Amino acid sequence: MFNQESFRLGATGSAIRELFEYGKKRKQEIGEDNVFDFSIGNPSVPSPDIVKNTLIYLLQNTEATKLHGYTSASGDNGVKKAIADYLNQKYDVKIKDSLIYLTCGAAASLTISLKALLNQDEEVIVFAPFFPEYKVFTENALGKLVVVGYDDKFLPDFCDFEKKISNKTKCVIINSPNNPTGVVYSEDIIKKLVSILKKKEDEYQHSIYLISDEPYRELVYGNVTVPFVTKYYDNTIICYSFSKSLSLPGERIGYILVNPNCLHSNEVFKCICGAGRSMGFICAPSIFQYLIPSCLGLTSDLKVYEENRNILYKELTSYGYDVIKPEGAFYLFVKALDEDAVKFSEYAKKYELLLVPSDSFGCGGYLRISYCVSKKQIVNSLPAFKKLIEEYRK
């Protein structure tokens, strides 16, 4: 007998990926330009030139056995040092390179961190709406997902948060800038969140870890800043990824960082090493590890996303859609015109608009639009959005 849970996960796929696959098929049928695929968070802006130039340099100037060889299980020491130095200078913190673990992107960072921390039936708190894979990763580590509600700005409902922290709470995952809402947690929100966590740590007399999932750290618009969470809460683990900032999602590169102020930080790091080992997540792709030191602090041209956001927000609002103005990431969260977002997403397909229903994000009634697409797609899709609302309202 196969493992039934693995079969279920493999057989069903995620709502995002199902729509993405549908889009690929539909494009073959009616042509690439006739499908408005807003399903997946695949960066539409090329990586900065330094990525290509450094890769060429590495290929031409590094001994092949080193370039393509195994690094230390947790990553190359020189790369870790470069990351720690960069973060310390940028955020005025004291990150230790010995507490950094290179991974295959944020997904691996999260899977490893949860496996490292959780014992059977311990609880992981997430804030709706949340990245659907949190549930999969938590359950894979034998934990239980506990979902906290949101307020009218899609920020955490702190009363609910306080109520849902229990003696079994092992960690809390935050994701700011947020997928799917584009909301960014201000310093005040982080302070409020950690004050509750500290109170509950005292009450229950055990550590509650804050896992900060940060693939969109650099993707913010205007004057918005993203607080560096280790400054506010000792028991913090950061799960970072270069997938979005450098447009490298297919290359699978990121890292886990344990705050040096975390209680028993060295032991926590050992758990991370052990979890990585147990799942075969060791030696992240070496050539992409060696690329990182040249690219720290650099990003793809993020202005493109800001422009897409501005056009979509302005136009959809003017057609009558109820839209949350995103401060970061590259997603727009729009209220579905039907209470049943799945039904409305199906209806939108009539206009070749591929919009992800919000149900798998832990909240009903909304649609996620990934606007990391060409400006041409944004502009060409506008008549379809207009028609959709006009005809649905009839």
Q: Does 357 bind ligand PLP (CB under 6 A)?
A: no
| Nearer of residues 295 and 388 to ligand PLP, judged by Cβ | 295
Q: Does 388 bind ligand PLP (CB under 6 A)?
A: no
Q: How many CB atoms lie within 10 A of CB 306?
A: 18
| Nearer of residues 74 and 179 to ligand PLP, judged by Cβ | 179
**Cβ distance 219 to 329 under 8 Å?**
yes
Q: In this structure, what token pair is assigned to residue 331?
A: 């997603």
| Nearer of residues 74 and 176 to ligand PLP, judged by Cβ | 176
In this chain, which stretch among 203-211, 241-249, 291-299, 336-344 interacts with ligand PLP, using CB under 6 A?
241-249
271 Cβ contact list (under 8 Å, min separation 6): 116, 117
Q: Does 71 bind ligand PLP (CB under 6 A)?
A: no
* Member of 156, 249, 328, 357 binding ligand PLP (CB under 6 A): 249
Q: Alpha helix (H) ranges present in 146-223? A: 158-164, 187-204
Shortest Å, Cβ 248 to ligand PLP: 9
- As a whole number of angstroms, the distance between CA 219 and CA 244 comes to 8
Q: Does 20 bind ligand PLP (CB under 6 A)?
A: no
Q: In this structure, what token pair is assigned to residue 86?
A: 């960069």
- As a whole number of angstroms, the distance between CA 298 and CA 90 comes to 12
Q: Does 177 bind ligand PLP (CB under 6 A)?
A: no
Beta bridge partners of 209: 171
Q: Does 326 bind ligand PLP (CB under 6 A)?
A: no
| Nearer of residues 107 and 304 to ligand PLP, judged by Cβ | 107
Closest CA to 304 of 31, 52, 48: 48
In this chain, which stretch among 18-26, 105-113, 346-354, 381-389 interacts with ligand PLP, using CB under 6 A?
105-113
Shortest Å, Cβ 366 to ligand PLP: 16
* Member of 99, 107, 208, 295 binding ligand PLP (CB under 6 A): 107
Closest CA to 364 of 102, 149, 120, 83: 149
Shortest Å, Cβ 383 to ligand PLP: 29
Tell me phi and psi for residue 240, to 5 degrees. Answer: -110, 160
Name which of residues 207 to 236 contact ligand PLP (CB under 6 A). 213, 215
Shortest Å, Cβ 42 to ligand PLP: 9
- As a whole number of angstroms, the distance between CA 191 and CA 157 comes to 14
Contacts 24+ apart (CB under 8 A), 115-118: 115/140, 115/141, 115/275, 115/278, 115/279, 116/268, 116/271, 116/272, 116/274, 116/275, 117/141, 117/170, 117/171, 117/209, 117/237, 117/268, 117/271, 118/142, 118/143, 118/170, 118/171
Q: How many residues make contact with ligand PLP (CB under 6 A)? A: 13
Q: Does 175 bind ligand PLP (CB under 6 A)?
A: yes
Q: Does 156 bind ligand PLP (CB under 6 A)?
A: no
Closest CA to 145 of 153, 135, 132: 135
Shortest Å, Cβ 347 to ligand PLP: 25
Shortest Å, Cβ 86 to ligand PLP: 18
| Nearer of residues 288 and 347 to ligand PLP, judged by Cβ | 288
Q: Which residues bind ligand PLP (CB under 6 A)?
A: 41, 105-107, 131, 175, 179, 213, 215, 241, 243, 249, 254
